[in-house]
Amino acid sequence: MRTWITDEPIDVSDVLSSVGSDADGAALLFLGTVREQNEGRPVQGMRYDAYAGMAASVLSEIAGEAGERAGTDRISVVHRTGELQIGDVSVAIAVSSPHRAEAFDAARYVIEQIKLRLPVWKHEHYTDGSAEWLDGATPPAPAAESAAVPAPGTVKP
C-alpha cells in the first residue's frame, strides 16, 4: 500500500509497477487527466490546491478501506497538486488482486472516495483568461463525538 501527494508529474509506469504479485491475476490502473473543456468552456489549465498534511492521511485511509473491501494490499494511489496542463495526470490509482472484480471495485472505490473526501480543490483557468473554483462535494459528516465513545463493556482489550 503506497499513497502520496506530489507536486511533481506522476510517473504512471512507476505507479503501475508498484502493484502486482504472482498471486494476482488482474491489475488495474486508473488515471484522471485534465480535459480541454468543462461544460463547454475551453480550459487552459488547472491548479490543484490541497490541504497536504490532511490529504495524505485521507488518501491513506481511502486506500486502506479499498484494500480491506477487495482483500488486497497491492494498492498505490498518488494525487497531484500544483499547476497542470491539458492531458496532465492529476490522479493515478493502481490495484492488483487475484481476480478482476476486486481490482475494478477497489479502483472505483478509491476514485469515488477521492472525489467525496480528499481535501483538494480545483482552480480551473479558461482560455478567455477567467478562472473559477470548481464545484465540489461535501464530505460525509464524521460520526458524532458521543457515538464514537464505545458503550461501557464494549471496549475490546
Partner 1 sequence: MRIQLLLFALYRDLTGVSELDVQVPDGATAGVALADLRARDARFGRLPERPVIAINREYALLDAPLADGDELALLPPVAGG
Distance CA 96, CA 17 (A): 10
Give the one residue of 15, 67, 74, 79 binding partner 1; rule: CB under 8 A: 79
Query: How many C-beta atoms lie closer than 10 Å to residue 3's C-beta?
Result: 21
CB of 20 to a second copy, least distance (A): 7
The answer to the question of residue 64 lying near partner 1 (CB under 8 A) is no
The answer to the question of residue 98 lying near a second copy (CB under 8 A) is yes
Give the one residue of 6, 57, 127, 130 binding partner 1; rule: CB under 8 A: 57
Distance CA 52, CA 43 (A): 25
The answer to the question of residue 106 lying near partner 1 (CB under 8 A) is no
The answer to the question of residue 127 lying near a second copy (CB under 8 A) is no
CB 93 within 8 A of CB 112: no
